[in-house]
Amino acid sequence: MAGRISDEDIALVRERSPIADVVGEHIQLRNAGGGNLKGLCPFHEEKTPSFNVTPARGYWYCFGCTEGGDVITFIRRLEHLSFGEAVERLAGRAGIRLRYEQGGYVPGREQGERSRLIEAHRAAAEFYAAKLTDPEAAPGRRFLAERGFERADAERFGVGYAPAEWEALSRHLMARGFTAAELIKGGLAKEGRRGPIDRFRGRLIWPIRDITGDVIGFGARKLNDAEDGPKYLNTPESPLYKKSEVLYGVDLAKREISRRSQAVIVEGYTDVMACHLAGVPTAVATCGTAFGAEHIKVLRRLLLDQSGSQGEVVFTFDGDAAGQKAALRAFADEQKFVTQTYVAVQPSGLDPCDLRVRHGDAAVRDLIASKEPLFAFAIRSVISRYDVSTNEGRLSALDAAAPIVAGIKDRALRQLYAVDLDRWLGFNNERFVMERIAEIAGTAARQAQPAGPRRVAELTDPGVRTEAEVLKLAVQRPALLGARFDGVGPEAFTLPEHVALYKLILEVGGAAVAEAGGREWVDRLIAAAGEDLRGMVTRFAVEELRVDSAVEDRYAAGLLAALELVSVNRAIEQLKSRLERTGAGESPEEYNRLFAELFELERERRTLKERAAGS
């Protein structure tokens, strides 16, 4: 049984895993001011960034889905790992050798399942790459050479060769300490009658990596078409490999996709290679499945796909009927992007790899540059099925294309494509075409189910907003509040969760002892918080303060005054009530004492109002 990772090593992993770097490997982050970074949340669909990272305190928080935490929490949520597996993953990234309690460090035994499978795949990739130079791999080298790839290109993309033997890889990996069960679970081998047998044999091999660069699977091409089996064979679904989420080449393309705000979708491994070598380093490909919703999520995070974005996604397909069908499938998902989507189709039906072989690198770049908006391509593809030289054909084409135009969410763009549709069909009657489209759009709207009410959590009450800002300061800049904050008392807060957080801050020592705060202070709060409060602590640690750093002192003093004013107002109301009940004639001494106390509270209230107004 695996031992527990030492607390010192967990702290070291956090220290050597800068949250901005780790998160930045998965989503595009941009400066949001105040030392914060912002990007599209990887855990829910959104069009405008609400995912915030605060490098100084080492925490992230999404104001859209209200998830948050530190760098370990991020990796756990993203990769669906246990705490220990996430620590191991980050330790591997940082080059840290972990120590385990209950028996110490035993190499290769205490690692989590994912880490073990990652190591097995890395070793398998090295094995396959080395085998590409063997005499037996000559057909594989010839295949690459015929497609314009040199030895250096194969090394750049990690292309390898799987020997035709039944157990070559299995023997190699088991000799290095991996078990048969691990090989089978990872999809590297299958169960044979006498033990594991290699899944890939006599094939050219492409390692498939995730966005961080870890090998998680393989794509394999048959070299002898006369042999049984599919032309392409991929790793099966495994704890590492989810084909609906995998994009081949994303590890190489991610930085250029973010920098250029462009992603090019091609159909095969050699097409990705050809594009990158030809000067289109934003190319990626799906692996044995159609482009779908999970692939879109990956690209949207890299593109920082949001309202007003100038990015683009370019689909390349063969010019034949199958390619057109694939493009129309892509159209179904088009409006899940906010960026503009295009199609680039080579008229003679050449894919990027063949195009590069026949016409050179420039032809590949020209293909991408000749892209056509996906809406236009989809409409033209439908029209091409009809004989538009006749009235009957034109009307049928209009009825077939109208749903595509009617489905365009942008009203202005929908109207422009309606005008184009009229021109392409030759009606010369824009009003007729628009009425037909509107009729179809109206029918679709009537058939659509009404969306349920959307709850938006907003702190609209000024007093509650003041409470939140004060608590935010107590988490981020406790020294600005000091002992005065500790003395306001829980009765100064109205929301139960605010009261609970205030009490938590006092339990760990209060703002007076927190000094400058920082990451250590936030860590103490997180450690002491229950499950119901951790999210709020994380949120207040990440959320930007509503003030310039030059006037933070005055801002903090004003907020505290406003908060103290709540308690003073409550005390004044209680005193007035007691004065009414006491009466000046019944108990003059008590009445005069209460009146003097009221006078002092009123004076304090005026002072606090002035301080609050001065903030």
Report the pLDDT value the prediction gives residue 109, as an integer from 0 to 100: 45
Q: Which of 172-186, 451-465, 493-507, 511-525 has the lowest mean pLDDT?
A: 451-465
Report the pLDDT value the prediction gives residue 326, as an integer from 0 to 100: 64
More confident site: 384 or 34: 384
Question: Which long-range contacts link 29-38 to residues 24+ away (Cβ below 8 Å)?
Answer: 29/53, 30/304, 32/544, 33/544, 34/544, 34/545, 34/549, 36/542, 36/544
Phi then psi for residue 314, to 5 deg, are -115, 120
Indicate the average pLDDT of the chain: 85
36-61 mean pLDDT: 91
57-70 mean pLDDT: 92
Report the pLDDT value the prediction gives residue 590, as an integer from 0 to 100: 73
- Is the Cα dihedral 399, 400, 403, 404 positive or negative? negative
Report the pLDDT value the prediction gives residue 108, as an integer from 0 to 100: 44
Place 70 in a pLDDT band, splitting at 50, 70 and 90: very high
More confident site: 155 or 517: 155
More confident site: 319 or 589: 589
Report the pLDDT value the prediction gives residue 162, as an integer from 0 to 100: 98
Task: Looking at 261-320, list the stretches that DSSP marks H as alpha helix, in order from N- to C-terminal side.
Answer: 269-278, 293-303
Contact 52, 60 (CB under 8 A): yes
How is residue 514 written in tokens? 């927190």
Place 406 in a pLDDT band, splitting at 50, 70 and 90: confident
| CA-angle at 430, arms to 427 and 436, nearest 5° | 90
pLDDT in tens, 133-173: 999 999 999 999 999 999 999 999 999 999 999 999 999 99
Report the pLDDT value the prediction gives residue 110, as an integer from 0 to 100: 41
pLDDT in tens, 263-278: 999 989 999 999 999 9
Contact 305, 267 (CB under 8 A): no
Q: Using CA atoms, how far apart are residues 134 and 171, in angstroms rounded to an integer?
A: 18
Q: Using CA atoms, how far apart are residues 470 and 472, in angstroms rounded to an integer?
A: 5
How is residue 466 written in tokens? 């003041």
pTM of the entire predicted model: 0.69
Which amino acid type is present at position 373?
Answer: P
Q: Using CA atoms, how far apart are residues 41 and 263, in angstroms rounded to an integer?
A: 19
